[in-house]
């Protein structure tokens, strides 16, 4: 749990693009999306979403529905992220202060 808190602090508050990564996590908490749907939902460039998804997958925050090369693959929060979602909310609330 402490490790996850550190990872989330780094990804959300400690690096460029943290705001967009937080928006992606929030959107995926509600329902799964593919990259194109996230791009439309969050009004961000497809390549920007693609980059942030890769970063979040590399840190086991997100998982996808299958073949990495397949267009339209669905993206979900990992079980680990779902379990630690309250930590994410805590970090967001501290950032807004």
pLDDT band at 87 (very low <50, low <70, confident <90, very high): very high
Which CATH code for domain 2-95? 1.10.10.10
* Residue from 80, 75, 76, 92 nearest 9 by CA: 92
Question: Residue 68 above 90 pLDDT?
Answer: no
| Alpha-carbon distances, residue 27 vs 30, 33, 35, 39, 74 (angstroms) | 6, 8, 12, 11, 13
How much is the average pLDDT of 48-62?
A: 95
Q: What proportion of the chain, given as a percentage, has pLDDT over 90?
A: 77
In this prediction, residue 16 carries a pLDDT of 86
In this prediction, residue 49 carries a pLDDT of 96
* Residue from 74, 57, 78, 56 nearest 66 by CA: 74
Question: Residue 64 above 80 pLDDT?
Answer: yes
């Amino acid at each position: 749990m402490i490790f996850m808190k550190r990872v989330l602090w780094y990804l959300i508050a400690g690096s460029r693009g943290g705001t967009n990564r937080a928006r992606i996590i929030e959107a995926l908490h509600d329902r799964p999306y593919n990259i194109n749907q996230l791009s439309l939902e969050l009004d961000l460039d497809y390549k920007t979403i693609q980059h942030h998804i890769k970063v979040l997958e590399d840190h086991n925050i997100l998982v996808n529905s299958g073949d990495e090369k397949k267009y339209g693959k669905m993206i979900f929060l990992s079980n680990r992220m779902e379990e630690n979602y309250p930590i994410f909310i805590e970090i967001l609330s501290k950032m807004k202060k």
